[in-house]
Amino acid sequence: MTTAPDGRVRCAWATSAPEYVAYHDDEWGVPLHGVAALFERLSLEGFQSGLSWLVILRKRPAFRAAFAGFDPAAVARFTDSDVARLLGDAGIVRNRSKIEATVHNARVVLDLGTPLDELLWSFAPDPQRHPRPATIDAVPATTPESTAMAKELKRRGLRFVGPTTCYALMQAAGLVDDHIAECWRAARADR
């Protein structure tokens, strides 16, 4: 826990940069719905793999522009020339495998048969069985739910969706709320 100059106690990970503070205070753990919004989070979590989330937050506006606002229908129409364009875009993470996975995943999302929103939220654990962590050490990297989500997403053909990435998505999109017990956001959520 860290008390910031504004007097708020925050989860320790959220205080090292202004982008983290804003993300922590306004987005992380807040229930998120909508296919495009969840496709964006799923895609960005995949891009984050092996990198700092801060890198992704700082590049998020460029990612949104490069990937047509993460509209799955628009991204699904990307061609090899779009992939080449993205590989030359210094505003995003230029990793061919991750770029190609995002385009591929957009196509899969369109053919799921179940809206992405509904599919992802079907893995949200019962809040009564997911206690609020007392310390950062009590926050898991994976859970049975994130493992099941990853298995199902892979079965349906999505890429860059391992259990750790899925749990980070669950935290980011509010399927779970892992704000530490002393965090001001936790106190607000528990009311």
Cβ atoms of 178 and 139 closer than 8 Å = yes
- Active-site residue set: 23, 45, 53
- What's the one-letter identity of residue 58? R
CA 187, CA 35: separation in Å to the nearest integer? 29
Q: Which residues contact 46 (CB under 8 A, 6 or more apart)?
A: 98, 101, 102, 105, 159, 160, 161, 165
Residue 162: closest CA among 54, 45, 55: 45
CA 10, CA 1: separation in Å to the nearest integer? 6
Distances, alpha carbon 156 to alpha carbons 4, 33, 47, 97, 124, in Å: 43, 20, 20, 18, 18
